[in-house]
Structure 1
Amino acid sequence: MPDAQVPPSGQTGAEQPTQEPDGGRRILHEIVSSSWLVSVLAVVLALVIGGLLIAAANQEVQAAAGYFFSRPGDLLGLAWTAVSDAYAALFAGAVFDPRAEEFRRAIRPITETLTVATPLILAGLGLGIGFRAGLFNIGAQGQIILGGIFAGFIGFTFDLPMGLHLVLCVLGAALGGALWAGIAGVLKARTGANEVIVTIMLNNIAIYLVAYLLSLDPFQRTGSNNPVSPPIADTGVYPLLLGTGYRLHAGFLVAIAAAFFTWWLMERSTIGFRFRAVGSNPDAARTAGISVNSTYVWVMLTAGALAGLAGSAQVLGTERVLTAGVAASFGFDAITVALLGRSKPLGTVLAGLLFGALRAGGVVMQARTGTPIDIVLVVQSLIVLFIAAPPLVRSVFRLPSAGGSRSPKPIVPVTAKEVSA
């Protein structure tokens, strides 16, 4: 008679461990647990390669390459000028513009960076919670859309007092994102469905859902054939922090508050300990009495709520209307933000600011130097590549391998013969 498999102690028949390869969990653990130095060097390496592309795209540099062997200094000088001018324009468009005649105009770039970074930070915080819990939540795009739908509907439909209206809009955004992510969490817990596939499919459903809703009378602006909602009521929008001359709104404060909440949740609360325990080793967590399946649901609900708040930043703050492009590419960029920030709140905030700066400064870089804005997209893609491959960054800079990045060994089920022995 073949040896019977004895489940680990504390495991009941109602909750069986999901049998799936641990390769993805191991890779995610290695990315999240990599050192800050690897993340910084990944950004530096991406900027260096981006600089080479900027020089290669410059027409003067291309012309100087034709007589490189007769006057190599011309090529090197023009290449340096092209790269330095492009990155200087990027800085001027993202942080501070020294050419501006007034101080208010000089600091406008940093306010644009903060505005663009707000949804990236919020969505990145949610994804980071999922990554630390061992879940590949790729559904921030759909969760942002649902958060925007809920916030927008409450914002332009109801007539409520100031303060109360905004609070209900924000809570509605969190609820919409949580419900959408909760679908993937429940399917993961009840059926073992792969959360990557489920969240990607939910992204597509959300994209078509918002397009359909904007074709209905309750969501359409009166007298307009464009797919845009009525404007959000003044009582339901985020107030501007620096006046009408800037787009920076109180949603940025919500993002900072969410970062503090995420830190407390993951580092100081019992439920955060459960999230991290399941992410480190679900079998060991199950043996310790933690309900892994219910933890998956709570992780997705929390992550979705934060991504839904990112939708509120767009609908209630930046755009103040609901459109089909409410999520833009924030949901996908937030994946890189969370990975670059190692799924930690502080790192996610800093990574969100970096990507906000790249977005805000890329337009100015193109306008002043003629550098294709696609270079910024290439730099972002390179950051994704290097963050997803820490050994590659270590090999380029000849860093020692991180011994602490190995994932915990899985618990091996014991047989009845081993128990009797």
Structure 2
Amino acid sequence: MPKWADVLLVPLFSLLIAFAISALVILAIGEDPVEALVIMVRGSLGSTYGWGYTLYYTTNFLLTGLAVAIAFQARLFNIGGEGQALIGGLGVALVCLFIPWPNWWTAMIAAILASAAFGALWAAIPAFLQAKRGSHIVITTIMFNFIAASVMNYMLSHVLRPPTAMDPATARFDDVLRLPRLHDILGLVGIEFSRSGPANIMLFVALLFCGLAYMLMWRTRLGFEIRAFGQSEPAAHYAGISGVKIIMVAMLISGALAGTMAVNSVMGGPQRLVLNAVEGAGFIGIAVALMGRSHPIGIIAPALLFGFLYQGGGELAIETTIPREMIIVIQALVIMFTGALDNMVRQPLEAVFLRLRRRG
């Protein structure tokens, strides 16, 4: 099958099947799937307000999807993005609460560095266990998600919570630390955009990271070593590539990217660290990476798709009797068909292209 068909047709048909089954489920609960689709499109893409939220969620999924994609290039299935992003949020909160900053951009740079360091350190422990002890990265990263949630619960309930507050969250950051939103950025070139949408400058940072990740993976020796190790570990060892080094480096980069997501969801969102700041973005990043074929540029469209589903799902729950959990069902179907059932779509397409080639 041609490369373009593998990149475009397989995910497209997987999406169509997932949406078709979702439509049947919506029909089964007595709602109109066409009307539901219209509401989702209108609520997420029909106004600058909707775009503001869609692109905000997209930013989260870009960073967590990129984290999973980098690790998967070394055939390391990092399922710990959720926990790494949670711990990254702790780094953002410490930087913003306890260091006085003169302006937002110095605080943002410091928050990016702190969140990346916290996320990388959290990913380093499962990486070390995999590299030195043979502990499977999938199991350890899943376990560390629960440990991170417990650490965050304790920190927000007993350490960082203001004495007069009831909810497990930090105090709000200083107003000077508010990140410029798309309204502020696009207003510089005369483009009107909703003030309410939380999409902010971190969208451009996430896109920059995608470009830098592409340069790293396909234009540097380290990137070649990571991909070579992922393609064949014995061949990489024969070529003198250290497996311990690749596992550690790939997971450190992956954890750093996942941790950086917290800058968007903490500084760019509520401007304080709350208990559920990640909102499942670490797990959605797995689906984004799978749909994007673990390519730093390929993940952009899937991240936008899941941003659309998140925002559209919220509008759907408001305007209809369809519960928001229905969007989780749609996301699960997309993940199932683009991941676990990928061959169910791929094999018929390969048969079609093989038949066409024989005729030609």
Report the TM-score, using the length of structure 1 for normalisation.
0.77
Deviations 1:58-81 (A, max 9, x none): 16xxxxxxxxxxxxxxxxxxxxxx
337, 345, 359: which is aligned to 1:393?
345
Aligned AA (1:140): G
Aligned counterparts of 2:119 and 2:350: Cα–Cα separation in 1: 41
Code of the aligned partner of 1:224 = A
Tell me the residue number matched to 1:51: 23
1:240 paired residue number: 181
1:41 alignment partner in structure 2:
13
Q: Secondary structure at the match of 1:216?
A: helix
- 1:126 corresponds in structure 2 to 67
- Whether contact under 8 Å (2:120, 2:251) holds in the other structure is yes
- Which ranges of structure 1 fall in alignment gaps of 5 or more residues? 1-32, 60-81, 97-105, 404-421
Relative distance call for 1:402 and 1:229 in structure 2 (3 A) is farther
Mean CA deviation greater in 353-362 or 324-333: 324-333
Is the 1:120–1:330 contact (alpha carbons within 8 Å) kept by the matching residues of 2? yes
The answer as to whether partners of 1:155 and 1:237 remain within 8 angstroms in 2 is no
Residue 401 of structure 1 deviates from its aligned partner by: 5.2
Question: Residues 173-212 of structure 1: matches in 2 within 5 Å?
Answer: 173-212=115-154
1:372 aligns with 2:323: yes
Shift of 1:342: 0.9
Contact kept in structure 2, 1:133 and 1:276, CA below 8 Å: yes
Aligned to 1:346: 297
Instruction: Mark the CA change 1:85 to 1:136 in structure 2 (over 3 Å): closer, same or farther.
Output: same
* CA RMSD between the two structures: 1.9
| 1:165 to 1:391, Cα distance in 2 relative to 1, 3 A | closer
Classify 1:282/1:34 alpha carbon distance in 2 versus 1 (closer, same or farther; 3 Å): farther
Q: Which has the larger radius of gyration?
A: 1
Please list, as runs of the form range in 1=range in 2, the aligned pairs for 1:229-268 lying within 5 A after superposition.
229-243=170-184, 244-268=195-219
What residue number does 2:231 align with? 280
AA aligned to 2:156 is L
Could you tell which deviates more after superposition, 331-340 or 234-243? 234-243
Match of 1:215 in 2: 157
- Structure number having the greater helix percentage: 2
**Structure 2 unpaired stretches of 5+:** 185-194, 354-360
C-alpha separation in 1, matches of 2:197 and 2:311: 13
Contact 2:54 2:307 survives alignment (8 Å): yes
Note the C-alpha offset of 1:306: 0.4
Alignment of 1:136-151 (within 5 A): 136-151=77-92
SS at match of 2:268: helix
Q: What do residues 32-54 of structure 1 show as CA deviations (whole Å, max 9, x unaligned)?
A: x9543111111111111111111
CA distance in 1, matches of 2:154, 2:351: 50
- List per-residue Cα deviations over 1:107-153 (Å, max 9, x = no partner): 21112100011111101101001111110111001100011000111
Q: Does 1:317 align with 2:268?
A: yes
Q: What is the CA-CA distance between 1:366 and the residue it aligns to?
A: 2.8
Measure how far apart 1:250 and its partner are: 1.1
Q: Deviations over 1:341-390 (max 9, x none)?
A: 11112221111110010010112223333333332211111111111222
TM-score (norm 2): 0.89
Contact 1:188/1:194, CA 8 A, preserved across alignment: yes
Instruction: Measure the CA separation in 2 of the matches of 1:130 and 1:165.
Output: 28
CA contact (8 A) 1:111 1:247 kept: yes
Shift in Å, 1:332: 0.9
Q: 2:311 aligns with which of 360, 372, 390?
A: 360
Shift of residue 157 of structure 1?
1.2
Alpha-carbon distance between aligned partners in 1 of 2:100 and 2:208, rounded to the nearest angstrom? 27
Q: What residue in structure 1 maps to residue 34 of structure 2?
A: 84
State the Cα distance separating 1:235 from its structure 2 match. Answer: 3.8
Deviation at 1:253, TM superposition (A): 1.2
Once residues 349 and 402 of structure 1 are traced to their aligned partners in structure 2, the CA distance between those partners, rounded to angstroms, is 28
Instruction: State the Cα distance separating 1:234 from its structure 2 match.
Output: 3.0
**Are the counterparts in 1 of residues 52 and 196 from structure 2 also a CA contact under 8 Å?**
no
